[in-house]
Amino acid sequence: MSRLPFMAGNWKMNKTIDEAVDLVRQLKASLSGVTGVEVAVGPPFTALHAVCRELQGSPIGVAAQNLFWEEKGAFTGEVSPAMLKDAGCDYVIVGHSERRQYFGETDETVNRRLKAALVHGLKPIFCVGETLRERDEEKTFAVIQRQLEGGLKDLESKEFISVVLAYEPVWAIGTGKTATPEQAEEVHRFIRERLAKMYSSDVADAIRIQYGGSVTPENVRGLMAQPDIDGALVGGASLKSDSFTKIVRFKEI
Ligand code: PGA
């Protein structure tokens, strides 16, 4: 089964509108002609519309970093799925560990967000990952299984097929400590096996699982050489066109 590699940038709380447009202009130029890889950028909410407009007609997709599950109404500070579609988004990151850690995200709220995204035709990038403490206590697989089962509760195969998974060990995010390709592959394989049990082996084979956590131009090739690693969710290194371009063009490094 060959899965199209997918490289996505998670810009987190960085970039003004002008800075965001400037970065995607550079990426449009530096990534022109790249084939055999899907690419998306994930600007903050305020820059989404301008970035989507700048990328119109380009193969680079746009991901929001979160969404709320309600359609509209009295939910001060929240952004609905339809608003993200209106801004031009293709993807939405759901369940990022920073949202779980700092903003009270749970498997149940992740599940609600995933369902809302899918109903509105947004493709979720669904993040799972263990903390250092959980890894040290040898709970990695149990935590991942709980996050998968809770996050994907009541999602059928035909909906799930639009989801992209991202395995992001919390201890590797923004720390410069990447999981070794073997450590990452072990969890990716586990995720695919669980998905085969929850859905079918055909579905599990088709789903892309990105790795995230201190991905750089230096380590991307080793990660991408693993059979179950299908792309990367890139934080820090996606903020500069040079490093993100090298990651997207990993085959040419
Ligand atoms: P990082 O972030 O690449 O800066 O470690 C990855 C992420 O949180 O998605």
Instruction: Give the position of tokens 């990651």.
Output: 247
pLDDT recorded at residue 176: 83
* Selection from 65, 58, 59, 97 nearest residue 79 by Cα: 65
Residues 15 and 47: beta-carbon distance below 8 Å: yes
Strands 61-64 and 38-42: parallel
| Distance from residue 239's CA to the centre of ligand 1 (Å) | 11
Active site residue 218: no
Active site residue 120: no
pLDDT recorded at residue 1: 63
Intervals of the chain under pLDDT 50: none
* Selection from 185, 213, 245 nearest residue 30 by Cα: 245
- pTM score, whole prediction: 0.97
Token couple for 166: 């991202």
User: DSSP 3-state helix, strand, coil percentages of the chain (rounded to 5)?
Assistant: 45, 15, 40
Q: Which of 54, 105, 134, 168 is catalytic?
A: 168
Q: What is the largest CA-CA distance in the chain?
A: 50
pLDDT recorded at residue 253: 77
pLDDT recorded at residue 117: 98
pLDDT recorded at residue 103: 97
User: Closest ligand 1 atom, CA of 166?
Assistant: 9
User: What is the C-alpha to C-alpha distance for residues 59 and 64, in angstroms, rounded to an integer?
Assistant: 17
Q: How would DSSP label each residue in 82-121?
A: HHHHHHT-SEEEES-HHHHHHS---HHHHHHHHHHHHHTT
SS3 label, residue 38: strand
CA 8 to chain centre: 6
pLDDT digits (tens, 9 = 90+) for 201-243: 999 999 999 999 999 999 999 999 999 999 999 999 999 999 9
Q: Which residues line ligand 1 (CB under 6 A)?
A: 10, 168, 173-174, 212-215, 233-237
Q: Say how many CA atoms lie within 13 Å of 212 toward its Cβ.
A: 32
